[in-house]
Amino acid sequence: MTGNQIKGKGFRGALRYNLEKVDRGIAEVLDHSFVSVSEKSIMKEVQMVRVQRPNLQKYFYHTSINFPPCEDLANERMKQIGHDYMVANGFTQHQFIMFRHHDADHPHLHILVNRIGYDGKVLSDSNDFARSEKVLRELEIRYGLTKVNSSSQARERAMTKNELEMMKRTNEPSQKMKLQVLIRGILQEKQVITTREFIKALECKGINVLFNQASTGFVSGISYGFEGIIIKGVKLGNDFKWSTIKGRINYEQERDRTTIHQANDRTKSINPDAGTGDGHSSRDSKTVRQGRAKQQPLFKRPEGTEFHDARSSKQSSDARQPARSTEREDDSSINIVPKKSKGLDLAALLDGHSHGNTFHADHQPDMDFEKLKSKKRKRKRRGRL
């Protein structure tokens, strides 16, 4: 089983999306804690509990539990798994509704929960992703289901929804997928490959390699530069991080020290701002080739206003810190391009792993009519002034 989670401000969007699928006959309600199954009635009950914690923003919790196609479980068994999942995650005194969807090639279950309990206590979301994975592994054993590797053991990182959507639009594989295929092909081409041969093979495929090499020659991480991005090996999956790679190639620290240093120099000559895999930021190669003098700001600052460059502040702060190396691989990209959210949006989550569907879930905050009327009155008063 695999599980996706989302925490949000609104119960209504996910509820409406699921109820619409029920109306269309492609989903069914397995169980719930409400008086009746209607949007109006459920939202009224949710608001009655939520009033105990009016300042809590993300009170809504939603998870989808996805089963392999071969495990077409009966409704009663799937419902029991859903209840066991909620109890193990601490949802014992909370409002919930459970849906089973029939619109994908694999069975999947969706659980919508109010994080605010009947007693007003809020269930902590600390380490909830790790906790959820642990619970799923335990449920697989308890019910004799197909065992799935946890995300920390994944050999290859799965494609995100954004990557899948991009590939649908362009009919081209993503850069991450290209890197996974190219690197795996190089490692499988020869039974024994030296560090020098590995680096040369990568460069022949257009991949510049960047090692996190300490002054002692010790290497603790590896990153790959490809088509204008530099990405950590661990971001591609366990098969591509340095602790795995060095076991697949003929590597010796002292012998390969100069080879690795020279490879880093070649990568930095293409991308002068690239770090050495130690977590420092790096501009993508396309931006760097344009030169610092030609770079333009993304927006114009109004005259007479202050502008704080967080990156410059961080770099100056880093310069004051003593240099140090780390012996663990940092799980982050070293591309300086501002990061966008990689989380799945609500609709993708609702559809489990069937990303071919249209993503159109209405994920809106719950606002009562009185609050909306109050906002309209305030806008009118401001307009008269």
pLDDT of residue 19: 94
Q: What number is the average pLDDT over the span 205-223?
A: 92
Segment 251-277, tens digit of pLDDT: 999 999 999 999 999 988 887 666 544
Residue of higher predicted confidence among 238 and 98 = 98
Nearest to 1 by CA among 61, 62, 90, 64: 64
CA distances from 1 to 44, 66, 266 (A): 33, 5, 44
Domain 2-155+344-373 in CATH 3.40.50: no
Looking at residue 292, what DSSP letter applies?
G
Q: What number is the average pLDDT over the span 314-331?
A: 43
CA distances from 316 to 69, 258, 284, 320 (A): 53, 30, 21, 7
pLDDT classification of 114: cutoffs 50, 70, 90: very high
pLDDT classification of 122: cutoffs 50, 70, 90: very high
For 109, other C-beta atoms within 10 Å of its C-beta total: 24
Alpha-carbon distance of 307 to 314, in angstroms, equals 15
Place of tokens 């993708």: 348
User: What's the pTM value of the predicted model, to 2 decimals?
Assistant: 0.49
pLDDT of residue 70: 84
| pLDDT beyond 70 at 213 | yes
Q: How do the domains of the chain map onto residue ranges? A: 2-155+344-373, 161-296
Average pLDDT, the chain: 75
| pLDDT beyond 60 at 313 | no
Q: Which residues contact 171 (CB under 8 A, 6 or more apart)?
A: none
* Strand 208-213 to 108-114 pairing: unpaired
For 307, other C-beta atoms within 10 Å of its C-beta total: 7
3-class DSSP state for residue 59?
Answer: coil
Place of tokens 């699921």: 18
